[in-house]
Chains A and B, each alone.
Chain A
Amino acid sequence: MSDWRGRDRTYRLCAYGSILCLFAFLFLVENYADEYQIRILNVSAIFVTMAVSYNLINGVAGQFSLGPNAFMAVGAYTTALLTISPAEKELCFIIEPIIWPLSVLHLPFLPSLLIGGTFAALLGFIMAFPVFRVRGDYLAIVTLGFGEVVRVVANNTQSITNGPLGLKGLPEYTNLWWSWGVAVFTVFCVTRLVKSSFGRAMQAIREDEVAAAAMGINVFRHKMLAFVVHAFFAGMAGGLMAHLVTTISPTLFSFFLTFNLLVIIVIGGLGSMTGSIIAAIIITYAGEWLRAVEEPMAIGPFNIPGIPGMRMVVFAIMLILVMIFARQGLMGRREFSWEWFCGFLRTGERRG
């Protein structure tokens, strides 16, 4: 067996091993950590899913979309409408009764989640036709517009979404296994896609659309593929989020959510999945730590009043500073690989 094939096998074993370690860690957390820790880990996983899929369209394909909140909303609502029991729905829809097929549908979590993702992907497929007729900052505005339209529609279709009241009483299905399982699955699928010929075509489009088209790449189809895959995983993440917070309303899926994701992928580095994963976890935890800033503090004899809203101020300043001073973010476009890691260890050995 040649050397590279052996090394390839080692790297693959490393990858499986690390996933196993992750799940062993989750097992420990689930049994020994408190509710709060588990919740933050769940949120981190959902943000990893969202950020990685969002980075596919923004970082890899270079199409600056501002509409992931639309897909998350569709995913969340679809999943929630399928998992809430018919009795609960009747209690929930007090202003207008829910329309027929939705009122009796009741499915387990996994199929609901997949259907949620599929519906989001379907919306992505339909949106792709108008959206990819424009480029650059216009594309940003159009996707932002779609995000707003989805929110307004959710606010107004009383008999499907229960309007501004939102849906209540979702079963609390999301746990560490679901959230991290989906996160690992997403990272696996997206990184495979990026490394495939499709992914290379997407990167070519990002660098130079005209040149890519001249090389025979079907520009529209590859943009569409990135967009639909992004939409599917964002929809799944929306479903997971809905079943973590157990109450959803249109305000949950405002531009605010997109802004959080944007901060994550920009800080991680546009185009780097590793960066997105790291930044998603850092930002989730940073958000929790910054919660302390928003609460009143007593340092010795001094009482410092809490400053609500401070977290977002910090994130906004961070985003601007990263753009001005460190446009590459944490990782630039680099990715973690076992090859790099083993090389790193080996040079460490040599030094030591």
Chain B
Amino acid sequence: MSGWFLKGVTTGTKTTGYPAHAEGAPGVSPGRPVGGAYPEREIPLLVARCPVGAIRPSGQAAVMVDYRRCVHCFRCQRGLATPLAWESGYEWAGVFNDQQALDHAFTRSVNILVVDTGDCGACLNEVKQLNNPYYNMHRLGLFITPTPRNADVLLVVGPLTDHMRVPLQKAYEAMPTPKRVIAVGACALSGGVFAPSFACNSGPADLLPVDVAVPGNPPPPLAILQGLLVAVGRKSPRPLESPAGDTAQEVSAR
């Protein structure tokens, strides 16, 4: 037993400083494309290149990226004469429908119920990484619970297969109010690479009222963490499209 103790003590502190400080270690996030100015002649090629239709022309010589659809296939980066602009960073979560920030609903610890509705395993693995010492969501008061009876937040991953409709509905109804729903991953927001399919949906949005969306395929743990903080009102949400409405281009993470 002393071997474990020594191992633990000598490992030191590995926890990230997020959300107090930005996390800059390499490999924490794949980054994502950025919409904006793009040579007009090449826009049709770019739009056709995206397999899920996440890139749309926006005005004269600009494109717009819908993050709800982006599946990180990197085709807008590789194999093109002019690759699309790319940003690093991980603060991706936003509010699903409105543009308002969610109010401070839960003041103390938050219990999260994770329901996998057909996820490939990558998003689920990223959610599980939140418990490891690098991210340690417990220090922020976030806990994963196995039962909906004491859950505050329902975290849904996967495109919602037909077989999981009833279990998801039951899990949502078994949770006491107030509750929030957070949909994580491109599959849960737009069906990812799977929609349209007879056996699965484009996410849980037509079954449950989704509050927060975390785009990405998969979103890195820091993005999911930010999404959870948005869900409880501790962080402000980000736009789910780029560029965001009329405002200037997306700013890189702080």
Do the two chains belong together in a single complex? no
List residues of B whose CB falls within 8 A of some A CB: none
